[in-house]
Amino acid sequence: MTSTTFLRPWQALSAVALTAAALVVAFVLAPATLASTAATSGLASESRLIATFRSAFVGYWRTGAAGFGSELQPVVDYWFRYHVAKALLAAALLAVLIVLGVLSWRTSLRVSGVRAAGLAVSGVLSTALAVVSLAAVMANIHGMAAPFGSLLPMLFGAPNASTGPLPDTLSQIRQRLADGQNSPALEVIRSDYVKFHAVMAVEGTIVVIVLVVLSVVLWRGFRRTDRAERRARRLLAAYGVFIPLLTLALAVIVVANATTAAQPLPGLESFFAGGW
């Protein structure tokens, strides 16, 4: 097959765009299948996953032990594999979208009229989807690091969580937290909750550093670009403004997660009160 490096720009763009579209479909449809085993095939259904986890969580809490046991462990393992698949696919999609965005903007600077406008739209869409993909990578990394903690939100919301033994279990957890009591099971819940937020803070800090460096590179490129190249300068300036704004938003999220990891009790109490 001919390498895309020898194709015309529009052919390369088409090939990269098709790859991105295929990865989007794979990201949505493939993880549940990739994560499933013969024992956990039924968990590919979201409603089945939620029901199974809630039932297993109630049993886990009743035992009071730290170990997940035979009912909850397969669910946690499945959810770990699910996040691994999601993270890898999101990372691949992010890389492809970055390539698509760079190709779109570079090509748009060499053409004019309708073609330039169409390529600009492609560049903007690629950027927006790349931001979403970056968020997906980060979310699935800390979901992978703390799969039990990332399952906990399934204890709330639809399908109806106000019936059966689950409400009583949640009430007991709230009471334990309010009274400052502890147990092996509650310590595992607390530990995974802290890990979930700590990993987000760490990976967010790394991304913030990368974005700061990228901002510096963009503004240096802006200064070095000849004033006659107005379109290139506008493009560099636009990204030079957008990237710091994105960095600032992410920095706020990093601080919030670091604060929660350092002082988990208020967040845990709010979480089990339904404030996720």
C-alpha distances in Å from residue 254, one per residue of 44, 184, 198, 258: 31, 29, 9, 6
- State pTM to two decimals: 0.90
pLDDT value of residue 275: 60
Q: How far is CA 266 from the centre of its chain?
A: 24
With b meaning 16 or more CB within 10 Å and e meaning fewer, what string describes 221-255? bbeebeeeeeebbebbebbbeebbebbeebbebbe
Low-confidence ranges of the chain (pLDDT < 70): 1-8, 275-276
**Neighbouring C-beta atoms of residue 4, cutoff 10 Å:** 17
Ordered by start, the domain boundaries in the chain are: 1-156+164-170, 182-276
Select from 87, 91, 51 the least CA-distant residue to 71.
51
